[in-house]
Chain A
Amino acid sequence: MTEIVLISGKGGTGKTSIAAAFSYLAGQDIVLADCDVDAADLHLLMQPDFNIAQNFYSGHIAEVNADICNQCGRCVEVCRFGAITVMNGQYGVEHLNCEGCGYCSRICPTNAIMMKNQNVGKWFISNTRLGSSMVHACLGIGAENSGKLVAQVKKEAKRIAGELHRDFVLVDGSPGIGCPVISSLSGSDFVVLITEPTVSGLHDLKRVFEMVKKFHIRAACIINKFDLNLKITSEIEDFLKQENIIHLVNIAFDDSFTKAMIKGQTVVEFSQRNFQQILTESWEKIKKITKTGGKKE
Protein backbone atom coordinates (compact mmCIF):
# COMPACT_ATOMS: atom_id res chain seq x y z
CA MET A 1 0.00 0.00 0.00
CA THR A 2 1.54 3.28 -1.13
CA GLU A 3 1.02 6.70 0.40
CA ILE A 4 1.14 9.71 -1.93
CA VAL A 5 1.05 13.25 -0.54
CA LEU A 6 0.20 16.44 -2.42
CA ILE A 7 1.67 19.64 -0.99
CA SER A 8 2.20 23.14 -2.29
CA GLY A 9 3.92 25.44 0.21
CA LYS A 10 1.78 28.31 -0.99
CA GLY A 11 -2.01 28.29 -1.04
CA GLY A 12 -4.14 28.69 -4.15
CA THR A 13 -1.99 26.67 -6.56
CA GLY A 14 -4.71 24.11 -7.30
CA LYS A 15 -3.51 21.32 -4.98
CA THR A 16 -6.95 20.37 -3.70
CA SER A 17 -8.52 20.46 -7.17
CA ILE A 18 -5.78 18.21 -8.51
CA ALA A 19 -6.08 15.84 -5.54
CA ALA A 20 -9.80 15.54 -6.28
CA ALA A 21 -9.12 14.91 -9.97
CA PHE A 22 -6.63 12.11 -9.18
CA SER A 23 -9.14 10.68 -6.78
CA TYR A 24 -11.75 10.59 -9.54
CA LEU A 25 -9.35 8.89 -11.96
CA ALA A 26 -8.17 6.39 -9.37
CA GLY A 27 -11.70 5.40 -8.38
CA GLN A 28 -11.77 2.52 -5.93
CA ASP A 29 -7.97 2.10 -5.91
CA ILE A 30 -7.53 4.73 -3.24
CA VAL A 31 -8.53 5.94 0.18
CA LEU A 32 -8.57 9.72 0.31
CA ALA A 33 -7.13 11.63 3.28
CA ASP A 34 -7.80 15.35 3.61
CA CYS A 35 -4.99 16.57 5.84
CA ASP A 36 -5.53 20.26 5.20
CA VAL A 37 -7.36 20.35 8.51
CA ASP A 38 -7.15 24.10 9.12
CA ALA A 39 -9.04 24.99 5.94
CA ALA A 40 -10.41 21.72 4.61
CA ASP A 41 -12.05 22.12 1.19
CA LEU A 42 -11.77 18.72 -0.48
CA HIS A 43 -15.18 17.67 0.79
CA LEU A 44 -16.80 20.36 -1.34
CA LEU A 45 -15.85 18.34 -4.41
CA MET A 46 -16.24 14.84 -3.00
CA GLN A 47 -19.54 15.19 -1.12
CA PRO A 48 -18.68 12.82 1.73
CA ASP A 49 -21.51 11.43 3.82
CA PHE A 50 -19.88 12.06 7.24
CA ASN A 51 -20.76 8.50 8.16
CA ILE A 52 -18.65 8.35 11.32
CA ALA A 53 -17.79 11.46 13.33
CA GLN A 54 -15.44 11.63 16.30
CA ASN A 55 -14.36 14.39 18.62
CA PHE A 56 -10.66 15.07 18.67
CA TYR A 57 -8.72 15.95 21.77
CA SER A 58 -5.27 17.44 21.89
CA GLY A 59 -3.52 19.22 24.70
CA HIS A 60 -5.13 20.76 27.73
CA ILE A 61 -6.81 23.92 28.92
CA ALA A 62 -6.71 25.18 32.47
CA GLU A 63 -9.98 25.72 34.32
CA VAL A 64 -10.42 27.61 37.60
CA ASN A 65 -12.94 26.42 40.17
CA ALA A 66 -14.13 29.74 41.60
CA ASP A 67 -15.53 28.06 44.73
CA ILE A 68 -12.11 26.84 45.85
CA CYS A 69 -10.05 29.77 44.55
CA ASN A 70 -8.73 32.05 47.30
CA GLN A 71 -7.67 34.82 44.91
CA CYS A 72 -4.03 34.63 45.97
CA GLY A 73 -2.91 35.51 42.42
CA ARG A 74 -0.03 33.00 42.23
CA CYS A 75 -1.41 31.73 38.92
CA VAL A 76 -1.19 35.19 37.37
CA GLU A 77 2.44 35.47 38.51
CA VAL A 78 3.55 32.22 36.86
CA CYS A 79 1.52 32.30 33.63
CA ARG A 80 3.77 33.33 30.73
CA PHE A 81 0.89 33.56 28.27
CA GLY A 82 -1.42 36.07 29.93
CA ALA A 83 -4.11 33.41 30.10
CA ILE A 84 -5.40 34.08 33.61
CA THR A 85 -8.12 36.71 33.68
CA VAL A 86 -9.41 38.55 36.73
CA MET A 87 -12.83 40.13 36.51
CA ASN A 88 -14.53 41.58 39.60
CA GLY A 89 -12.18 39.54 41.74
CA GLN A 90 -13.11 36.33 39.93
CA TYR A 91 -10.28 34.35 38.38
CA GLY A 92 -10.74 32.64 35.04
CA VAL A 93 -8.87 31.37 31.99
CA GLU A 94 -8.81 32.96 28.53
CA HIS A 95 -9.00 29.92 26.26
CA LEU A 96 -7.32 31.47 23.26
CA ASN A 97 -4.22 32.35 25.30
CA CYS A 98 -3.88 29.19 27.38
CA GLU A 99 -1.08 26.96 26.11
CA GLY A 100 -1.99 24.07 28.41
CA CYS A 101 1.38 23.97 30.18
CA GLY A 102 -0.20 23.23 33.56
CA TYR A 103 2.13 25.46 35.56
CA CYS A 104 -0.76 27.33 37.23
CA SER A 105 -2.48 24.09 38.12
CA ARG A 106 0.67 22.69 39.67
CA ILE A 107 1.36 25.62 41.97
CA CYS A 108 -2.17 26.58 42.98
CA PRO A 109 -2.15 26.33 46.79
CA THR A 110 -5.81 25.33 47.02
CA ASN A 111 -5.86 23.00 43.97
CA ALA A 112 -8.47 25.21 42.39
CA ILE A 113 -7.12 24.78 38.86
CA MET A 114 -7.70 21.61 36.83
CA MET A 115 -6.30 20.77 33.41
CA LYS A 116 -9.04 19.60 31.06
CA ASN A 117 -8.62 17.72 27.80
CA GLN A 118 -9.15 20.15 24.99
CA ASN A 119 -11.62 19.35 22.25
CA VAL A 120 -9.91 20.94 19.27
CA GLY A 121 -11.88 19.56 16.40
CA LYS A 122 -13.61 16.66 14.77
CA TRP A 123 -12.57 13.93 12.35
CA PHE A 124 -14.76 11.90 10.03
CA ILE A 125 -14.80 8.71 8.01
CA SER A 126 -16.99 9.03 4.95
CA ASN A 127 -18.00 7.48 1.68
CA THR A 128 -17.61 9.90 -1.20
CA ARG A 129 -20.01 10.32 -4.09
CA LEU A 130 -17.49 8.35 -6.17
CA GLY A 131 -17.85 5.35 -3.86
CA SER A 132 -14.37 5.65 -2.34
CA SER A 133 -13.56 6.08 1.35
CA MET A 134 -12.42 9.40 2.67
CA VAL A 135 -11.00 10.44 6.03
CA HIS A 136 -11.19 14.13 6.81
CA ALA A 137 -11.26 16.55 9.71
CA CYS A 138 -11.72 20.08 10.78
CA LEU A 139 -9.86 21.99 13.43
CA GLY A 140 -11.67 24.42 15.72
CA ILE A 141 -10.98 28.14 15.79
CA GLY A 142 -7.72 29.13 17.43
CA ALA A 143 -6.67 25.53 17.91
CA GLU A 144 -3.01 24.67 17.87
CA ASN A 145 -2.33 22.76 14.68
CA SER A 146 0.24 20.43 16.17
CA GLY A 147 0.00 17.85 13.41
CA LYS A 148 -1.64 15.34 15.71
CA LEU A 149 -5.00 15.63 13.92
CA VAL A 150 -3.19 15.18 10.58
CA ALA A 151 -1.53 12.07 12.00
CA GLN A 152 -4.91 10.77 13.12
CA VAL A 153 -6.44 11.27 9.67
CA LYS A 154 -3.53 9.45 7.99
CA LYS A 155 -3.61 6.64 10.51
CA GLU A 156 -7.30 6.00 9.88
CA ALA A 157 -6.87 6.26 6.13
CA LYS A 158 -4.07 3.67 6.20
CA ARG A 159 -6.11 1.37 8.40
CA ILE A 160 -9.08 1.52 6.04
CA ALA A 161 -6.84 1.01 3.00
CA GLY A 162 -5.50 -2.10 4.68
CA GLU A 163 -8.96 -3.43 5.51
CA LEU A 164 -10.40 -2.76 2.06
CA HIS A 165 -7.23 -3.83 0.23
CA ARG A 166 -6.81 -0.50 -1.54
CA ASP A 167 -3.51 0.13 -3.25
CA PHE A 168 -3.07 3.78 -2.40
CA VAL A 169 -3.69 6.42 0.22
CA LEU A 170 -3.90 9.83 -1.47
CA VAL A 171 -3.24 12.72 0.91
CA ASP A 172 -4.30 16.34 0.35
CA GLY A 173 -1.54 17.86 2.45
CA SER A 174 -1.24 20.98 4.59
CA PRO A 175 0.16 24.31 3.38
CA GLY A 176 3.25 25.92 4.87
CA ILE A 177 6.35 24.23 6.30
CA GLY A 178 5.42 23.67 9.94
CA CYS A 179 4.13 20.87 12.11
CA PRO A 180 1.10 19.85 10.03
CA VAL A 181 3.24 19.55 6.87
CA ILE A 182 5.82 17.50 8.76
CA SER A 183 3.00 15.27 9.90
CA SER A 184 1.59 15.09 6.34
CA LEU A 185 4.97 13.96 5.01
CA SER A 186 5.89 11.56 7.80
CA GLY A 187 5.60 7.94 6.66
CA SER A 188 4.81 8.86 3.04
CA ASP A 189 6.21 7.10 0.02
CA PHE A 190 5.91 9.81 -2.62
CA VAL A 191 5.37 13.59 -2.75
CA VAL A 192 3.71 15.58 -5.52
CA LEU A 193 4.45 19.31 -5.37
CA ILE A 194 1.86 21.58 -6.94
CA THR A 195 3.17 25.01 -7.86
CA GLU A 196 2.43 28.06 -10.01
CA PRO A 197 4.81 30.28 -12.01
CA THR A 198 4.74 33.33 -9.79
CA VAL A 199 7.57 34.89 -7.83
CA SER A 200 5.81 33.89 -4.59
CA GLY A 201 5.04 30.40 -5.92
CA LEU A 202 8.67 29.63 -6.78
CA HIS A 203 9.88 31.10 -3.50
CA ASP A 204 7.48 28.98 -1.47
CA LEU A 205 8.20 25.87 -3.56
CA LYS A 206 11.89 26.10 -2.72
CA ARG A 207 11.16 26.53 0.97
CA VAL A 208 8.80 23.59 1.16
CA PHE A 209 11.19 21.40 -0.83
CA GLU A 210 13.88 22.02 1.79
CA MET A 211 11.42 20.41 4.20
CA VAL A 212 10.75 17.49 1.82
CA LYS A 213 14.51 16.80 1.49
CA LYS A 214 14.70 16.03 5.19
CA PHE A 215 12.39 13.07 4.66
CA HIS A 216 14.32 11.48 1.80
CA ILE A 217 11.13 10.89 -0.17
CA ARG A 218 11.03 10.96 -3.97
CA ALA A 219 9.24 14.01 -5.33
CA ALA A 220 7.48 15.05 -8.49
CA CYS A 221 6.05 18.40 -9.55
CA ILE A 222 3.07 19.76 -11.45
CA ILE A 223 3.28 23.36 -12.66
CA ASN A 224 -0.25 24.72 -12.74
CA LYS A 225 -1.23 27.86 -14.72
CA PHE A 226 2.17 27.56 -16.46
CA ASP A 227 1.27 29.91 -19.30
CA LEU A 228 0.78 32.81 -16.90
CA ASN A 229 4.53 33.39 -16.91
CA LEU A 230 6.73 31.34 -19.19
CA LYS A 231 9.91 32.85 -17.80
CA ILE A 232 9.21 31.67 -14.27
CA THR A 233 7.91 28.33 -15.55
CA SER A 234 11.32 27.88 -17.11
CA GLU A 235 13.03 28.83 -13.82
CA ILE A 236 10.92 26.25 -12.00
CA GLU A 237 11.86 23.61 -14.56
CA ASP A 238 15.54 24.40 -14.02
CA PHE A 239 15.03 24.06 -10.27
CA LEU A 240 13.33 20.69 -10.75
CA LYS A 241 16.24 19.40 -12.86
CA GLN A 242 18.77 20.70 -10.37
CA GLU A 243 17.07 18.98 -7.46
CA ASN A 244 16.21 15.75 -9.28
CA ILE A 245 12.46 16.30 -8.93
CA ILE A 246 10.39 14.48 -11.53
CA HIS A 247 8.59 16.94 -13.79
CA LEU A 248 5.12 15.42 -14.22
CA VAL A 249 3.23 17.93 -16.33
CA ASN A 250 2.47 21.59 -16.99
CA ILE A 251 -1.19 22.62 -16.88
CA ALA A 252 -2.40 25.74 -18.67
CA PHE A 253 -4.36 28.42 -16.82
CA ASP A 254 -7.96 27.25 -17.07
CA ASP A 255 -11.06 28.68 -15.46
CA SER A 256 -12.46 25.14 -15.50
CA PHE A 257 -10.85 24.84 -12.06
CA THR A 258 -13.31 27.37 -10.68
CA LYS A 259 -16.28 26.41 -12.85
CA ALA A 260 -15.88 22.76 -11.85
CA MET A 261 -15.70 23.78 -8.18
CA ILE A 262 -18.98 25.68 -8.46
CA LYS A 263 -20.66 22.62 -9.90
CA GLY A 264 -19.14 20.44 -7.19
CA GLN A 265 -17.22 18.46 -9.79
CA THR A 266 -13.61 17.56 -10.35
CA VAL A 267 -11.96 19.21 -13.36
CA VAL A 268 -11.88 15.89 -15.20
CA GLU A 269 -15.65 15.53 -14.93
CA PHE A 270 -16.21 19.15 -15.90
CA SER A 271 -13.91 19.24 -18.90
CA GLN A 272 -12.95 15.79 -20.10
CA ARG A 273 -11.46 17.32 -23.22
CA ASN A 274 -8.95 19.51 -21.38
CA PHE A 275 -8.01 17.25 -18.51
CA GLN A 276 -8.80 13.57 -19.03
CA GLN A 277 -5.68 12.83 -20.99
CA ILE A 278 -3.03 14.89 -19.18
CA LEU A 279 -4.17 14.00 -15.69
CA THR A 280 -4.61 10.32 -16.53
CA GLU A 281 -1.07 10.29 -17.90
CA SER A 282 0.22 11.95 -14.73
CA TRP A 283 -1.61 9.53 -12.46
CA GLU A 284 -0.37 6.53 -14.45
CA LYS A 285 3.17 7.89 -14.24
CA ILE A 286 2.88 8.29 -10.47
CA LYS A 287 1.60 4.72 -10.14
CA LYS A 288 4.47 3.40 -12.27
CA ILE A 289 7.17 5.27 -10.31
CA THR A 290 5.83 4.23 -6.92
CA LYS A 291 5.59 0.58 -7.96
CA THR A 292 9.28 0.51 -8.72
CA GLY A 293 10.12 1.65 -5.18
CA GLY A 294 9.24 5.22 -4.32
CA LYS A 295 11.63 6.05 -1.49
CA LYS A 296 15.09 7.25 -2.34
CA GLU A 297 17.87 6.98 0.20
Chain B
Amino acid sequence: MKIAFTTKGSTWDSKMDPRFGRTEYILIYDDEKDKFSVFDNRENSNEAYGAGPLTAQKLFELNPDVLITGNGPGGNAATVLGKSDMKIYIGASDLCVKEAFEAYQKGELEEF
Protein backbone atom coordinates (compact mmCIF):
# COMPACT_ATOMS: atom_id res chain seq x y z
CA MET B 1 0.00 0.00 0.00
CA LYS B 2 1.24 3.49 -0.84
CA ILE B 3 0.79 6.22 1.75
CA ALA B 4 1.42 9.88 0.98
CA PHE B 5 2.28 12.55 3.56
CA THR B 6 2.46 16.34 3.24
CA THR B 7 5.79 17.17 4.86
CA LYS B 8 8.45 19.76 5.49
CA GLY B 9 11.28 17.30 4.84
CA SER B 10 12.14 13.95 3.33
CA THR B 11 12.66 11.56 6.24
CA TRP B 12 10.70 9.63 8.88
CA ASP B 13 11.69 12.34 11.39
CA SER B 14 10.58 15.30 9.31
CA LYS B 15 7.73 17.43 10.54
CA MET B 16 4.40 17.16 8.81
CA ASP B 17 3.34 20.19 6.81
CA PRO B 18 -0.14 21.14 8.01
CA ARG B 19 -0.98 22.75 4.69
CA PHE B 20 -1.99 20.84 1.60
CA GLY B 21 -1.62 23.12 -1.44
CA ARG B 22 1.51 24.84 -0.24
CA THR B 23 3.16 21.77 1.30
CA GLU B 24 6.87 21.74 0.64
CA TYR B 25 7.27 18.02 0.03
CA ILE B 26 5.15 14.99 -0.64
CA LEU B 27 6.57 11.86 0.92
CA ILE B 28 5.34 8.50 -0.40
CA TYR B 29 5.86 5.43 1.74
CA ASP B 30 5.41 2.00 0.20
CA ASP B 31 4.74 -0.25 3.16
CA GLU B 32 5.20 -3.50 1.20
CA LYS B 33 8.68 -2.61 0.01
CA ASP B 34 9.42 -0.42 3.09
CA LYS B 35 10.67 2.30 0.75
CA PHE B 36 10.37 6.07 0.59
CA SER B 37 10.15 8.39 -2.36
CA VAL B 38 10.00 12.15 -2.16
CA PHE B 39 8.46 14.69 -4.47
CA ASP B 40 9.72 18.26 -4.07
CA ASN B 41 6.54 20.32 -4.25
CA ARG B 42 8.14 23.70 -3.71
CA GLU B 43 7.63 24.84 -7.28
CA ASN B 44 3.89 24.28 -6.94
CA SER B 45 3.75 25.73 -3.47
CA ASN B 46 5.35 28.93 -4.73
CA GLU B 47 2.75 29.62 -7.36
CA ALA B 48 0.68 32.73 -6.75
CA TYR B 49 -2.46 30.99 -7.94
CA GLY B 50 -3.69 27.45 -8.03
CA ALA B 51 -1.23 25.84 -5.63
CA GLY B 52 -3.99 23.63 -4.24
CA PRO B 53 -5.21 22.11 -7.52
CA LEU B 54 -1.63 21.72 -8.82
CA THR B 55 -0.55 19.79 -5.74
CA ALA B 56 -3.72 17.73 -5.97
CA GLN B 57 -2.97 16.98 -9.60
CA LYS B 58 0.47 15.74 -8.58
CA LEU B 59 -1.09 13.47 -5.99
CA PHE B 60 -3.50 12.21 -8.64
CA GLU B 61 -0.51 11.24 -10.78
CA LEU B 62 1.39 9.63 -7.88
CA ASN B 63 -1.79 7.71 -7.03
CA PRO B 64 -1.29 6.69 -3.40
CA ASP B 65 -3.94 4.65 -1.60
CA VAL B 66 -3.91 6.94 1.41
CA LEU B 67 -3.05 10.61 1.97
CA ILE B 68 -2.16 11.86 5.45
CA THR B 69 -2.12 15.61 6.01
CA GLY B 70 -2.78 18.36 8.55
CA ASN B 71 -5.58 20.81 7.98
CA GLY B 72 -6.88 19.19 4.84
CA PRO B 73 -7.14 20.34 1.24
CA GLY B 74 -9.08 23.48 0.36
CA GLY B 75 -12.15 23.44 -1.87
CA ASN B 76 -10.50 23.31 -5.29
CA ALA B 77 -7.86 20.79 -4.27
CA ALA B 78 -10.50 18.60 -2.63
CA THR B 79 -12.48 18.57 -5.87
CA VAL B 80 -9.43 17.28 -7.75
CA LEU B 81 -8.62 14.66 -5.11
CA GLY B 82 -12.21 13.50 -5.22
CA LYS B 83 -11.58 12.23 -8.74
CA SER B 84 -9.35 9.51 -7.36
CA ASP B 85 -10.02 6.73 -4.88
CA MET B 86 -7.45 7.72 -2.29
CA LYS B 87 -8.57 7.96 1.31
CA ILE B 88 -7.62 11.19 3.05
CA TYR B 89 -6.84 11.53 6.76
CA ILE B 90 -6.37 14.85 8.54
CA GLY B 91 -5.29 16.03 11.98
CA ALA B 92 -1.58 15.17 11.79
CA SER B 93 -0.42 18.81 11.84
CA ASP B 94 1.98 18.90 14.79
CA LEU B 95 3.44 15.42 14.39
CA CYS B 96 6.49 14.14 12.62
CA VAL B 97 5.95 11.66 9.77
CA LYS B 98 6.66 8.59 11.92
CA GLU B 99 4.16 9.73 14.55
CA ALA B 100 1.60 10.54 11.88
CA PHE B 101 1.89 7.05 10.43
CA GLU B 102 1.50 5.47 13.84
CA ALA B 103 -1.53 7.64 14.57
CA TYR B 104 -3.06 6.52 11.29
CA GLN B 105 -2.45 2.87 12.06
CA LYS B 106 -4.07 3.27 15.46
CA GLY B 107 -7.09 4.92 13.87
CA GLU B 108 -6.46 8.19 15.71
CA LEU B 109 -6.69 10.41 12.64
CA GLU B 110 -9.92 11.80 11.26
CA GLU B 111 -11.06 10.78 7.81
CA PHE B 112 -11.63 13.76 5.53
| Chain A interface residues toward B at CB < 8 A | 1, 58-59, 146, 148, 151, 155, 186-187
Contact = CB atoms under 8 A, between A and B. Distances in A.
Nearest to B47: A148
A83 B71 CA distance: 39
Interface string B57-85: 00000000000000100100000000000
Residue among B18, B19, B49 with the most chain A CB within 10 A?
A: B49
Contacts of B49: 59, 146
14 contacts: A1-B94, A58-B48, A59-B48, A59-B49, A146-B48, A146-B49, A148-B48, A151-B22, A155-B22, A186-B19, A186-B74, A187-B18, A187-B19, A187-B71
Interface residues of B, number: 8
A194 B56 CA distance: 35
Contacts of A186: 19, 74
A188 to B, nearest CB: 10
9 closest pairs, A vs B, by CB?
A58-B48, A148-B48, A146-B48, A59-B48, A187-B71, A187-B19, A187-B18, A146-B49, A151-B22
Interface of B is mostly: loop
A186 B19 CA distance: 9
Contacts of B48: 58-59, 146, 148
A116 B96 CA distance: 38
A23 B82 CA distance: 41
Interface string B69-112: 00100100000000000000000001000000000000000000
Contacts of A146: 48-49
B51 to A, nearest CB: 9
Contacts of A1: 94
Contacts of B18: 187
Nearest to A182: B74
Contacts of B22: 151, 155
A1 B94 CA distance: 9
Contacts of A148: 48
A58 B49 CA distance: 9
Given A155-B22, A187-B18, 12 more contacts: A1-B94, A58-B48, A59-B48, A59-B49, A146-B48, A146-B49, A148-B48, A151-B22, A186-B19, A186-B74, A187-B19, A187-B71
